[in-house]
Chain A
């Protein structure tokens, strides 16, 4: 009978981690729906980027208030996880504060967790004010689920930190009255002020309180873990691979489409046989689609980008088109890409393989008006704290519009036919190109 709590704990733990793993596999499958792109080069530079941008939060602090608050919550999250390790071991073995043997170090650890927990509570409170009270445009423009999602995560943090501090306060009280199994251990710089609230409670009630908070805390963490997949909050995991696999080229460099290069080189090759038939009995290969009209036309890094986006809106707030009232919002480009990818993934789950649903990323999610508003200035890419490139998706979708559909705005078609005919975007004769020197 005495092992029942241990067994229940292990079952909950396995269920929590199991369901999470199942969704992570789905996530990886969805990301792999993207086209291949090679990002295996320059491992050292990639590791450095990950260490600096994701671990070191270097781009977060470019906006100091949000950046510093974020670092507190982030440190709290990472460091308090050492405590979660102890909770898991205690839960499985039925022990209590198994790391207590560390003595002074243990006191220091528990003490710092408590200080961090308080700082997290304060930061989360300010975050909530910023999201819901102060008029900050990038948060105010979020409506419906994305807005609720942002707040739910903050409430989660408050509940988890409060449970953690309550648990410690009850534990301290139990230690002080010399209860069984509650040996003196740990330092409680914050919960010592909560503890007096429990003065006069019986040992039984205190144990109930301590155990209750302990169980709710660990169950809360498991729920939070599983909430990630359904939320913008995946960035706490994906920021790492996303910064690792980010584009290392100068921001102005846009990839040269390989399929186009092959065609152009063939056209320029004087020895190419214009009547060449496919070799042997090989069936004629399907011509490659140029650009992207749906998520499966994007590459896997762009899809990883969409899952990594935490909808902070720094990109949109820096976007010149958005600032001047155009429909384009780089954040929406990322959110649309993720929503559509999720829809395609669910379709595959339901039908075994993708069954045409008559929808695509272009038009059903992202309109051409948004795409044509972009100045390709890279402000969104520069602003993103986790190396996402909304611009690369915009460009790929423009490529589809122009090369597959010939659907560029009239002015751009004129510009392009000028380049084709006379080598300049304006209708001037190429033979007049040096006239300026004589004028």
Chain B
């Protein structure tokens, strides 16, 4: 994390009278959470190495409103949405990519009826399309032969039926991809969704992330792959709770691809 990366902003692009190929929506976790910032950087490195012409909104980006909406604060959500839409429409944004399934779902499904119509992709879908176009190479490198299990983020999987893109990328890493007993549409939540990330859980006999981490540990993985900064936090905490942090890493799909190439 000690190196600066070059990240152009939409404002800079506009000043030069140019339009990027895609807007990278970083999201709050990707901008502020120390763990998630590493994912953001890994994804930016992949964008650079694939020669993708991209920009971010930088200080003009604001929360999509997802946690407010799931909490029931429709008012705050729509205020956020309308403000973000005004910014994006002013820049005439057509295509958006984000590494957060919550931002992805909100931008893709809940912004259109408020006037924000964009082609929205999750970063695993975007990386898959780069791979298909021959712009990105994915090879095993140091992960070759490792046992990896992928945890489906609810807002990518069940919410939007994206199950294959992250798995196809992982397979390219020449790893041993193993499935948990509950996966794809039956995948168990990590416990963070619906704004649970920001509150203490209600009384119960177990935390959801522990239940899910146990699913993952059953597959005896070397690495738990995630596609969501919040799932990443929850699974990392779960692995620590089970005192397995020395033998099992929790990594985002983008980090796996970038690290494999030593980017």
Contacts and interface: CB of A to CB of B under 8 A. Distances in A.
A408 interface: yes
Contacts of B71: 398, 402, 408, 412, 415-416
A320 B67 CA distance: 18
A244 interface: no
B118 interface: no
B76 A420 contact: yes
A438 B56 CA distance: 14
Interface string B26-49: 101011110001001100100000
B74 interface: yes
B185 A382 contact: yes
A252 B109 contact: yes
A412 B113 contact: no
Interface string A257-284: 1001101110110000000000000000
Contacts of A397: 72
A309 to B, nearest CB: 20
A95 B69 CA distance: 65
A325 interface: yes
Interface size of A as a range: 35 or more
Interface string A325-350: 11110000000000000000000000
Contact of B75 (A260, A265, A369): A260
Contact of B154 (A264, A328, A378, A431): A378
Contacts of B159: 250-253, 378
A257 B126 CA distance: 31
A415 B4 contact: no
B191 A375 contact: yes
Interface in B193-211: 193-208, 210-211
A402 B68 CA distance: 10
Contact of B113 (A256, A375, A414): A256
B58 interface: yes
A76 interface: no
B58 A434 contact: yes
Given A252-B159, A426-B32, A434-B58, A415 B67 contact: yes
B5 interface: yes
A328 B196 CA distance: 14
Contacts of B78: 256-257, 260-261, 264
B54 interface: no
A415 B195 contact: yes
B95 interface: no
Nearest to A404: B72
Interface of B: 1-2, 4-7, 9, 26, 28, 30-33, 37, 40-41, 44, 56, 58-59, 61-63, 65, 67-76, 78-82, 86, 105, 108-110, 113-114, 154-155, 158-161, 185-186, 188-189, 191-208, 210-212
Interface of A: 249-254, 256-257, 260-261, 263-265, 267-268, 290-291, 318, 320-321, 323-328, 369, 372-379, 381-382, 395, 397-403, 408-409, 411-412, 414-416, 419-420, 423-426, 428, 430-439
5 contacts: A250-B160, A416-B67, A416-B71, A424-B31, A431-B59
Given A323-B208, A408-B73, 6 more contacts: A256-B74, A263-B75, A264-B78, A320-B189, A423-B62, A433-B59
